[in-house]
Amino acid sequence: MPIFSHLHQLFHVDTCHAYLHRLRWKDRPLQCPRCQSDDVGPWGTYHYRPRCKRYRCRDCKRTFNDLTGTLFDRSKRSLAHWMLATFLLCLSCSSRRIARELGVHIRTGYRWCWWLRNAALSYEMHRQLDGTVEADDLYHTAGNKGQAKQGGKKSLGRRARGRRKKREPGRGHYDKDRPAIIAWVSRQRGVVVQATRDFTVRTVQKAADLAVQAGSRLYTDSAGSYRALQGYVHDFVNHTKKEYARGDVHENRAECLFSLLKPYLRVFRGLSKTNLPGYLGFFQFLRNYRQLTAFEQAGLILYAALDPAISSRARKGEFVKCLDHFDLLQMQRN
Ligand SMILES: [Zn+2]
């Protein structure tokens, strides 16, 4: 195999370490990640990793380096692997593709993608739209892919869907492996994409309360769940009467967002319901920072991943759990 068969070989080790060093301490004070003490001093380097600067905390008497407590802590792969993986993730590559380009195992690729997606979601936790907001809904097939315990094949609990099988008529539902996706697009700035169990009035009201500031102007289609919304200045177009725009009233931006979301999700060749909110959240991140290049977006993700607080939550997948709106109805019943 030629030496440069993998792109990450072109990265220079010193440059990578210097870049991450700058990124980690850019806006954060140089302090001990264990006891948050500022009383730290340099403490040489590691013999097996000479470029990684080491520091010692004079309070807890322990040493740390630029990577302690971050997502890259104790990784056996080089930083170049991680940076390239983040870059490819922003170009919406699948985890298998990333694993192949980097020359790591697919399970490593999958774990990295999941952690990095979680780190990106930390930017999207409290996003609320205002101004003029368009909304639309979509139903996406999502089953139980990869959810078997201990891996391997599992009983689906249903007949295999088959390739391009015609779906059941009517609206989808979480229990029918076809959860709803609601997109909220502000004409001023920002988008919010949510996965919900169904499309009932209560679910949509709850989803709207999370995504859109009360009192905003809302343009939708004529679905009953939107018409029942309270707390917004609402107007709609009637698609059944072939009305798609009436002056300012239309939802073309929301529909356009779905035309971008569909090919984005197609890359992954099927999703599980459990992971759908994570993928949607990352798509939302990419859309909300779409004026940046993929390298700049990757820089944002790396910056978040270098925060010990964010990275420990990202490893546990807590950001996706926060964005998981499938239990909206359950929350209301309690
Ligand atoms: Zn300390």
> Average pLDDT for consecutive 10-residue bins of the chain (334 residues)?
65 89 90 91 85 90 92 90 94 93 92 95 92 93 76 64 64 85 94 92 92 93 91 92 91 94 92 90 95 95 94 91 74 47
* Ligand 1 mean position, distance from CA 30 (Å): 11
Ligand 1 is a single-atom ion; what residues have CB below 5 A from it?
32, 34-35, 37, 57, 59-60
* Ligand 1 mean position, distance from CA 46 (Å): 19
Task: Show Cβ contacts of residue 256 under 8 Å, excluding neighbours closer than 6 positions.
Answer: none
The pLDDT value recorded for residue 164 is 57
- Three-state DSSP class for residue 38: coil
* Ligand 1 mean position, distance from CA 38 (Å): 8
* Ligand 1 mean position, distance from CA 117 (Å): 29
The pLDDT value recorded for residue 312 is 93
* Ligand 1 mean position, distance from CA 64 (Å): 9
The pLDDT value recorded for residue 333 is 46
* Ligand 1 mean position, distance from CA 73 (Å): 17
**Crossing angle of helices 308-316 and 294-305, rounded to 10°:** 100
The pLDDT value recorded for residue 163 is 57
pTM of the model: 0.91
The pLDDT value recorded for residue 162 is 63
From the centroid of its chain, how far is CA 275? 10
* Ligand 1 mean position, distance from CA 135 (Å): 49
Q: Judge contact between 119 and 314, C-beta under 8 A.
A: yes
* Ligand 1 mean position, distance from CA 43 (Å): 13
Neighbours of 17 (CB within 10 A): 20
The pLDDT value recorded for residue 117 is 95
* Ligand 1 mean position, distance from CA 33 (Å): 7
The pLDDT value recorded for residue 89 is 95
* Ligand 1 mean position, distance from CA 62 (Å): 6
Q: Which two tokens stand for residue 316?
A: 């546990």
